[in-house]
Structure 1
Amino acid sequence: MLELKNIRKVYHVGDMDTIALDDISVAFREKEFVAILGTSGSGKTTCLNIIGGLDKYDSGDLVIKGKKTKDFKDIEWDSYRNNSVGFIFQSYNLIMHLSIVENVELGMTLSGVSKEQKHKRAIQVLEEVGLKDHLHKKPNQLSGGQMQRVAIARALANDPEILLCDEPTGALDTATSVQIMDLIKKVAGDRLVIMVTHNPELAEQYADRIIRFKDGNIIDDTNPHQERPKEDQFNLKKTAMRFKTAFGLSLNNLKTKKGRTFLTSFASSIGIIGIAVILSLSSGFKEQILQFQSDAMADMPIIITQSTQEIDEETMHKLANDRMAVVKGTAEFEDTDKVYLYDPSENTQIHTNVFTDEFMEYLESINPEICGSLGYTRLVNLNMVRNTDKGVVPVSIASASSNDNGMSSMMSSATMSLGLSSYPKQLADSSKSYLEKTYDVLAGEYPANDNEVVLVIDEKNRIPQNVMEALGFDTKDVETIDFDDIVGTEMKIIPNNEYYVKTDMGNYIPATDYQTMYDSKDAIDIKIAAVVRQKSNVTIGVLSTGIAYSDNLAGKIIELNEESDIVKAQEDSDVNVMTMQNFDDATAKSQFLGYLGGTSIPYMIMVYPETFENKDLVLDYLDTYNEDKDSDDAIVYTDMAGTMSNMTSGIMDAITIVLVAFAAISLVVSLIMICIITYTSVLERTKEIGVLRALGARKKDITRVFDAETFILGLFSGILGIVIAWLLTFPINSVLYNMTDLENVAKLRPEHAVLLVVISTILTVLGGHIPARMASKKDAVEALRSE
C-alpha cells in the first residue's frame, strides 16, 4: 500500500464537505464512479484523479452520470447529497435533542417521504444495524459503537448510491471497530463505499480497491478504473424541508432548555404586557365614556335648522390652534394701543336649508325602528287669552320679550334643555311618546288630545316668575303656587282675523276687545292637563320651562290662520306689516310669516334616533337624500352628540397612541434580545447545521429551522404576555373601583389579544432572521468540526 503524506485537504462530493487530514488511504468497492470533486475556499475547483481515464475531461471536472459538476447549482448539490450520498462521520454527528429514530428519519424528511413510510424505514434500518432494543433512546443514552450504528443507519435510510466514511472506527475500541467494519462491509454489497482511514490494515482487510496518494497525486491504484463515455442520466429529486419539520426540530431543541426558553419568552413578553394593559384600559375607559355619552346624549336630537353656519376645516384647525396656544401660554399678544377690526363672517359660510315638500315627505318616511320621533319648532304665535278674576286678559307661553319684528322669544331655555315649546311626535304608535319617556307627571295626566298642554318645571320645581305672569297667574307677593291651581287652567287661542286689527295707517296691531275674542266661535280651547318635570335619568330635554304643546296643535293654528288678512297682507308686502320696518333679508320675512301662522314650514327640525347606536343609521338616511343634490339644495344637519363623541374619542385615541408608543420601546429591546438569543442558539447548534447540510438540507432550510425557533419563541411570548396582561386586569379593576367606583374598566378585547400575539410573533421572527441567515451560510465542514 502506498502512502500519501502532508495532504492538507481532500475534497469530497459537494461544495462544502472538506476534511483536513495528514495521512489518508482510500478504500472503496467498484461501482459507477468517475471522480471526487470539491470547491476550495478561494472558489477554485480541484479534481483528484483517483480513477484513470479522465483525459477527455477538463481539469477541475467531476462528472456524475454524464453531467459535469461545474454546472451544478447549489440546490443540485443539496439534492445529490440527500439522494445519492450517505455520510458516516468519525464523531457520529448525531443531533442530541432528537431520538435515534428521529435522527434516522431526518434525511428521509428532506426527501419528502411520508411520515408513515419514513418511520417504518427508520425502524427497519435500525434493526438491521442491531439497535432493535434501543429505539426509544436518545443518542446520549448509547455507547460509542451504538451511536456509530445510528450514524450508519441514518446514512443508509435513503438507500444512497455512495457511502462516504470518514474514519468510521477512529473513535472506537478494537472490538467495536471490527463490528462496525463488518457492518460496513455488509452494506457495501450493493453500493459504493468510500472510506478514508488512517489504518492501512483495515483497508487491506476490507477494501476491494485501494488508492494511495502522495503530494496530491495518485501513486498507486490496486484496481484502476477505465472510464467509458456515458450519456447524461442525471436526474435528481429536489430536497426540501417543510416548515413542520423545521418546527419540530426547533421545538425539540427548546424543550431541552425549558428554563432559558421561559425566561426569554417572559422578557420578550414585557412589551406585549405593557401594550395589552394600556389597550385594555384605553378600550375600557372609551367604553365607559361611550356608555356615559349614550346615556347622556341618547335624547339629544340631530338638529336641522333653516339657516346653518358652516366653518371650513382650515378655519376650525386655526381656531383650535389659537385656543391651544392661549392655554399653553405660547400665544403672541399684540403690544399696541390700537383696536383691530375684522369681519368674522369671512371665516364662516351660512347655508340655507330649503325644507321642500319632497324633503318633508322623505323625512317623515324614515324607518320608525331607527328613528323614534320627529320634533318641529314652528314660530307661530298662539294668540292666547284667558278668563281670570280680573276678566279676560291676553296671555302668552313665554316671557314677552320681543325682537325687532315683534315676535315673542320662543327660544328661552332652561338648564339642560333645548328650550322648545312643542314636544316631538312619536313615529311608532306602539311605543311611548317622547313626553312620556322623558318627563314625569307631578300632577294631572299626560295629554290625551291635541288641545291639552302641559306646564314644564325644572328639577327643583321652579319656574320663572314672568312665565307665570305671562300665563295670567297672580304672582304678587307669592312664592309658590299649588299644582291644583295650575292643572285644569283653560285658555283660548284666537284666530288672526279677530286677534289683529288694521289701523288707519295701514299696519296691523293686536286688538284690545279680549272678551269678544274669548267669545269667538272659531277660538280653539286649550287646557293645562299636567305639570311635568324632566326625569332624573334623562340628561337633556328639549322643553323649556313653561307651556309645552304638541306639533299637531301648532298645525291646527297654522291651518286656522294661513288665509287670514294679516298673513295675506304680509305676503304681498316687503315690509313688516306690524312695525312697517324693512326686513333685513328674505329669511326674516319668512320667519315673521311663520310667526303669523302663514306657513307650515318649520324653523327647526329635530330627529331623534331610537337608540344612540341607531344614530349613524339616521345620519346615513339623511346623507342618502343629499346624494343627488347640488350643494345649495343639500340639507345640512348638526349632530351635536356625534361631535362631542368624536372629540372625547379623539382625546382617548391620542392618549392611547402616546402610551403605546412608550410601551413599544420595550418591543424594540425584545427584538434585539431575540436577535442575540438566536445567535447564541446558532453557535450552540453549529454541529447540527453541519449535519443537516450533509444530509442535503438547503441554505433556506437551515434558515427555516431558526426562523421556526424564533416563531415558537414569539408565539409563546405573545401568548404569555396576553395571559399575564389579562390576569393583571383583575387587580387593576379592583384598584380603580376603590378609587373611582367605576366597574370593569380594564377589558382586554379579543381582537387586541390576537393582534398583539401576531405582532409579537412577527417581530421575534424578524429579530431572529439575521442570525438565521448567518447560520445558513456557515461552512458545513467547519460546522461539523465545531464542539
Structure 2
Amino acid sequence: MLELKNIKKTYKIGDIETKALDDISVAFRQKEFVAILGTSGSGKTTCLNIIGGLDRYDSGELIIKGKKTSDFKDKDWDAYRNNSVGFVFQSYNLILHLSIVANVELGMTLSGVSAEKKHKRAIEVLEQVGLKEHLHKKPNQLSGGQMQRVAIARALANDPEILLCDEPTGALDTTTSIQIMDLIKEVANDRLVIMVTHNPDIAERYADRIINFQDGKIISDSNVYQEETKDDQFDLKKTSMSFYTALKLSFNNIRTKKGRTFLTAFASSIGIIGIAVILSLSTGFKTQILKFQNDALAEFPIMITQSTTQMSTEDIKSMKEEMKNKMMGTVEYESTDKVYLYDSTQNNFIHKNVFTDEYMKYLYDIDPAICSSIGCTRIVSMNLVRKVDGNVVPVTLKASGSEVNNNNSNNNNQGSNNTMTSTDGIGLTSYPEVLKQGEEPYLKKNYDLLEGAYPESVSDLVLVIDTKNRADYTILKALGFDTQNVDTIKLSDIIGTEFKIVTNNDFYVKTAFGSYLPGTDYNAMYNSSNSITVKVTGVVRLKPDVSIGLLGTGIAYSDELSKLVINSAKDSEIVKSQEVSSKNVMTMEDLDADKKSTFLSYLGGNATPFMVMVFPNDFNDKDAVIAYLDAYNADKDIKDQVVYTDLASSMSNMTGGIMDGITIVLVAFAAISLVVSLIMICIITYTSVLERTKEIGILRALGARKKDITRVFDAETFILGIFSGVLGVSIAWALTFPINAMLYKMTDLKNVATLQIDHAIILVLISTLLTVLGGHIPAKMASRKDAVEALRSE
C-alpha cells in the first residue's frame, strides 16, 4: 500500500514547478488501475515523481508499506525503483546503442540476476508484449508502438509491484494507443498500475479508479480508498552494477562512435608512442653496449697481479667507489680558497698480493656457471731450438709491442707482453683455461681458423695474425723463415713448423766460476731425449664480430705448456743453485728477496703466476665473480687481502649511467604529452557525459546507484585507456622498423630499436591508469546529475 499525506510544499519537478499542494491524502491499493487526471499537469507530475522517488521528497509523508520515505537513503530509493516500480515513459527512454533484449535485461542486471535467467526473462516479456519477431533489433529499428512495447517489457522484467505510466500513449496514433492500453490493462490484473494522463476518454475506458487534480488539489476520486487492516512486509533488495556490465554498456556506446574513438585514442597515445620509442632505442643501445662489453671482457678481465703497490687503508676501502665516482662525474669537490695540508705517508704501506696455494685453489674452485675461464701469466723461460735446412739454431720469439695491431689499438699493451723467448721476457698465457666441461675453448669462440687446426694437445701452438693478415717480420724470422726480400709467406708453409723446448739441464752450462751460461751445442740440445717437441698447428685471426681480443700477434700457447716446462725445470741444477744463492747465478749480481723470487720464476723454479685473469661468463655474472673474490678477503687483515682490478666494471658503470641519464631525460619530456592526454581525456569524458545524460536518467530510473553511474564512465575511460595504450605501443613497434633502417644506414648497427614486451605491458597499464584518472572527475559529475533533469535532456 502507498500513502501520500499532507503535502504542503513547492516542488520543482521536471519542467513544472508545482504550487503548494494542499490537503492531499491519497492511498493506493495493491491491485488496481488508477488514472490520475490533471488539468494543469502539476498533479500528475507530482505523483509520478514523488511515488517513483525520482525527485527529492522534502516534506509531507510518503509511506510505502508502512515505512516513511523520509527515512530512506539514496541506496534505498535506488533499490525501490529497481525492485518495486516499473516505469513506462511517454518518450520510451530506451538506450539506443543497446539491443532491445539488452534494454530489457538492464534492470535485472542491476538486481544481480544471473545472465542465463535474465536473458530468458527478457525473451519471455518481449514475447508477452508481442515482439517475438524483433528480438534481434535495436530501438531505432522499431516503430513508436514497438518501442513503447519494449519500454513496457523493460518495466515488467523485474516483476514490479507498481507500474508507473507517464502518458504512455502521448506519442502514438489512435490504433497503436489502443493496443498499448489493452496491454497495460492486461498487466494491471496482477499489480498496481498508476497512469497519469490528460486524456479522460482513456481514463474512463481502462481505469478502475480515476483521481482528478485541478490547480494542485484533488477535486474528485471515483473509488476512494477504504482503510484495510494489513501487515505489510517491506523488504528491498539492494542494486548493484558489476564492472563487467559497465564495460559492456560503455563498449556498446563506443562502438557507435568509431571514428571519434580512434582519433581520441590516437591523440591520447602520442605520449605512449614517444616513451615507447625512447625505451626501444635505450634498450637497443644498451644491448649494443652490452654486446661490445661482453666482447671486451676478453680484453678487460678481472685482473689480479703480484705487483707491488703503495696503498693506504683509506685507499683500499674507497678505491672502487672513487673509481666509480670519477667515471660518473659525481666526485665531491671542496669549495674553498684554502689548501688543506695532510701527511700522505701516514697509514701508507706497500701492499703486495700473495698468491698462496690456498688462494689459487680458491680461485680454481669458482663456480663454472659464473666464470668461463681463468688465465695465468707466468714468468718462465722457454729454451727453444729449431732445425732449419739441417742446422739447429736457437729460436728467440718476442712480439713487438709497438707494432702489434688488433681491432683496437688499446690492445697493444697486452700484445707487448705476449713473449715466448729463450732468453728473456714474460710467457703470457695466450688463451685461458676453460673451467666448464664442454665449454667452447677461447680460441674457437673468438678466433677464426685460417689454416691448419685448432690446438688439441699441450704441445700444439698457433700463430696469431692481425685483421689484415699481418705479422711482424721478426716473428717469422725467429721461426726460421727467410724474410729478406719477401713480402708474404703462404699460411700452409707455416703449418707444421716444429720446435724443441730444451730443459734447463741441457740448455745451461756451469762455468768454472760457478755461474751458469746458455750452452752452444744446439744439436745435442735438439737430440736430447728430455726435450719437448712443439709445433704450429694453425693460423688464427680475430673474428669480425669480436670487437677486442686478448691475444697479440705472434705465437700463442696454453698455460698447460708453461706448467709442463716448470715441472721439468724446478729440479734443474740452475734452479737449485739459485734457490740457495743470494746472487744471480748467471750475472753474479746481488739479489734482494723480490728479485730473487722473480728470477727463480724466470728459470722455472716457481710455479706461482705473475698475474691471474678471471673471465666472467658475461656482465651479469661479473657481479657474482666479484662477490666470490670479495668473500675471500672477508675477515682478513689488509696485508693478507688480495686486491684486484676490474676495469670492465668502470666502463660498464660509466656507459650504463650515461644511457640511464639520457633515457630518464627523454622519457620526462615525452611524459609531458601524457599530462596533455590526461586533460584531453577529462574533456572528452565530460563531453560523453553530456551526450549520455538521458542514458544516465534511464539508468537511475531503473535503480542504478550513483556509484554505478561513475562506474559506467570509468569503464568507458578504461576501454579508451587500454585501446590508446595498445595503439601507442603498436605504432611505436611499427616505427622501430624505419628507425632501425635509418640507424643501420648511418651507423651499421643492426636492430638497435627493440621494444621489450615488459615495457609494452607497463606502458599499456600506465595509459589505462592515466586515462581512468583523467575521466574520473567527469564520471563523478555524471553520478551527481538529477535523474529527472537527466530524463528531460535530449
TM-score (norm 2): 0.76
Matched, 1:511 2:521: no
Native 8 Å contact 1:715 1:758 kept in 2: yes
Matched, 1:118 2:118: yes
Give 2:364's aligned residue.
363
- Stretch deviating more after TM superposition (216-225 or 700-709): 216-225
Give 2:272's aligned residue.
272
Give 1:9's aligned residue.
11
Matched letter for residue 542 of structure 1 = L
Identity %: 54
Matched letter for residue 723 of structure 2 = F
Whole-Å separation in 1 of the counterparts to 2:417 and 2:381: 25
Give 2:163's aligned residue.
163
User: Per-residue deviation at 1:312?
Assistant: 3.7
Deviations 1:155-192 (A, max 9, x none): 11111012223343444456655544443333222112
Give 1:630's aligned residue.
634
User: Per-residue deviation at 1:770?
Assistant: 1.4
Whole-Å separation in 2 of the counterparts to 1:474 and 1:735: 49
Give 2:104's aligned residue.
104
After superposition, residues 417-428 of structure 1 pair within 5 angstroms as 421-424=428-431, 425=433
Matched letter for residue 261 of structure 1 = T
Matched, 1:770 2:777: yes
Of 316, 325, 337 in structure 1, the residue corresponding to residue 323 of structure 2 is: 316
User: Per-residue deviation at 1:656?
Assistant: 3.2
After superposition, residues 562-641 of structure 1 pair within 5 angstroms as 562-563=570-571, 579-582=589-592, 591-607=598-614, 616=620, 620=624, 623=627, 630=634, 632=636
Whole-Å separation in 2 of the counterparts to 1:349 and 1:26: 109
After superposition, residues 247-262 of structure 1 pair within 5 angstroms as 247-262=247-262
Whole-Å separation in 1 of the counterparts to 2:756 and 2:719: 23
Whole-Å separation in 1 of the counterparts to 2:707 and 2:561: 83
Whole-Å separation in 1 of the counterparts to 2:54 and 2:63: 18
Whole-Å separation in 2 of the counterparts to 1:236 and 1:662: 54
Deviations 1:685-714 (A, max 9, x none): 111101101101111211111112112222
Whole-Å separation in 1 of the counterparts to 2:615 and 2:445: 12
Of 41, 46, 67 in structure 1, the residue corresponding to residue 59 of structure 2 is: 46
Whole-Å separation in 2 of the counterparts to 1:706 and 1:606: 64
Give 1:87's aligned residue.
87
Matched, 1:758 2:759: no
Native 8 Å contact 2:381 2:427 kept in 1: no
Question: Structure 1 residues 45 and 273, CA, compared in 2 at 3 Å: closer, same or farther?
Answer: same
Helix, strand or coil: the match of 1:46? coil
Give 1:560's aligned residue.
568
Question: Structure 1 residues 465 and 742, CA, compared in 2 at 3 Å: closer, same or farther?
Answer: closer
Give 1:721's aligned residue.
728
Whole-Å separation in 1 of the counterparts to 2:457 and 2:289: 40
Deviations 1:496-541 (A, max 9, x none): 798486998xxx9643655499669696455553684534535444
Give 1:414's aligned residue.
415
Give 1:408's aligned residue.
none
Native 8 Å contact 2:284 2:752 kept in 1: yes
User: Per-residue deviation at 1:567?
Assistant: 5.4
Deviations 1:602-657 (A, max 9, x none): 22233456xx66x6458647745765862547776656556545544444443333
- Stretch deviating more after TM superposition (347-356 or 673-682): 347-356
User: Per-residue deviation at 1:359?
Assistant: 4.7
Matched letter for residue 46 of structure 1 = S
Native 8 Å contact 1:353 1:636 kept in 2: no
Helix, strand or coil: the match of 1:81? helix
Whole-Å separation in 2 of the counterparts to 1:665 and 1:348: 55
Helix, strand or coil: the match of 2:158? coil
Question: Structure 1 residues 303 and 510, CA, compared in 2 at 3 Å: closer, same or farther?
Answer: farther
Matched letter for residue 363 of structure 1 = Y
Helix, strand or coil: the match of 1:542? coil
Whole-Å separation in 2 of the counterparts to 1:132 and 1:449: 90
Whole-Å separation in 1 of the counterparts to 2:573 and 2:218: 132
Question: Structure 1 residues 79 and 444, CA, compared in 2 at 3 Å: closer, same or farther?
Answer: closer
After superposition, residues 237-252 of structure 1 pair within 5 angstroms as 237-252=237-252
Matched letter for residue 661 of structure 1 = A
After superposition, residues 588-737 of structure 1 pair within 5 angstroms as 591-607=598-614, 616=620, 620=624, 623=627, 630=634, 632=636, 644=651, 647-737=654-744
The alignment of Structure 1 onto Structure 2 pairs a total of residues equal to 735
Structure 2 stretches lacking a partner, 5+ long: 1-5, 33-46, 310-315, 402-411, 420-425
Helix, strand or coil: the match of 2:59? strand
Helix, strand or coil: the match of 1:602? coil
User: Per-residue deviation at 1:675?
Assistant: 1.0
Whole-Å separation in 2 of the counterparts to 1:767 and 1:298: 49
Matched letter for residue 557 of structure 1 = V
Whole-Å separation in 2 of the counterparts to 1:116 and 1:441: 73
Native 8 Å contact 1:31 1:191 kept in 2: yes
Whole-Å separation in 2 of the counterparts to 1:650 and 1:417: 34
Whole-Å separation in 1 of the counterparts to 2:272 and 2:109: 36
Give 1:58's aligned residue.
none
Helix, strand or coil: the match of 2:87? strand
Question: Structure 1 residues 228 and 262, CA, compared in 2 at 3 Å: closer, same or farther?
Answer: same
Matched, 1:30 2:24: no
Native 8 Å contact 1:125 1:157 kept in 2: yes
Matched letter for residue 9 of structure 1 = Y
Whole-Å separation in 2 of the counterparts to 1:67 and 1:500: 124
User: Per-residue deviation at 1:478?
Assistant: 8.0
Native 8 Å contact 1:370 1:618 kept in 2: yes
After superposition, residues 490-509 of structure 1 pair within 5 angstroms as 490=499, 492-495=501-504, 499=508
Native 8 Å contact 2:473 2:483 kept in 1: no
User: Per-residue deviation at 1:438?
Assistant: 5.3
Deviations 1:105-129 (A, max 9, x none): 2111212223333233223323333
Whole-Å separation in 1 of the counterparts to 2:218 and 2:345: 102
Whole-Å separation in 1 of the counterparts to 2:446 and 2:136: 78
Question: Structure 1 residues 709 and 319, CA, compared in 2 at 3 Å: closer, same or farther?
Answer: same
Whole-Å separation in 1 of the counterparts to 2:278 and 2:350: 42
Helix, strand or coil: the match of 1:103? helix
- Stretch deviating more after TM superposition (525-534 or 213-222): 213-222
Native 8 Å contact 1:247 1:708 kept in 2: yes
Deviations 1:319-346 (A, max 9, x none): 2355999xxxxx999999x999996999
User: Per-residue deviation at 1:423?
Assistant: 3.0
Native 8 Å contact 1:456 1:543 kept in 2: yes
Matched letter for residue 691 of structure 1 = I
Whole-Å separation in 2 of the counterparts to 1:672 and 1:254: 19
Question: Structure 1 residues 574 and 6, CA, compared in 2 at 3 Å: closer, same or farther?
Answer: farther
Whole-Å separation in 2 of the counterparts to 1:661 and 1:515: 77
Native 8 Å contact 2:682 2:777 kept in 1: yes
Matched letter for residue 590 of structure 2 = M
User: Per-residue deviation at 1:766?
Assistant: 1.9
User: Per-residue deviation at 1:82?
Assistant: 0.7
Matched, 1:226 2:227: yes
Question: Structure 1 residues 38 and 154, CA, compared in 2 at 3 Å: closer, same or farther?
Answer: closer
After superposition, residues 449-488 of structure 1 pair within 5 angstroms as 450=458, 453=461, 456=464, 458-459=466-467, 488=497
Structure 1 stretches lacking a partner, 5+ long: 12-16, 49-61, 326-330, 402-410
Give 2:191's aligned residue.
191
Question: Structure 1 residues 312 and 91, CA, compared in 2 at 3 Å: closer, same or farther?
Answer: farther
TM-score (norm 1): 0.76
Question: Structure 1 residues 334 and 595, CA, compared in 2 at 3 Å: closer, same or farther?
Answer: farther
Helix, strand or coil: the match of 2:697? helix
Native 8 Å contact 2:462 2:537 kept in 1: yes
User: Per-residue deviation at 1:773?
Assistant: 1.4
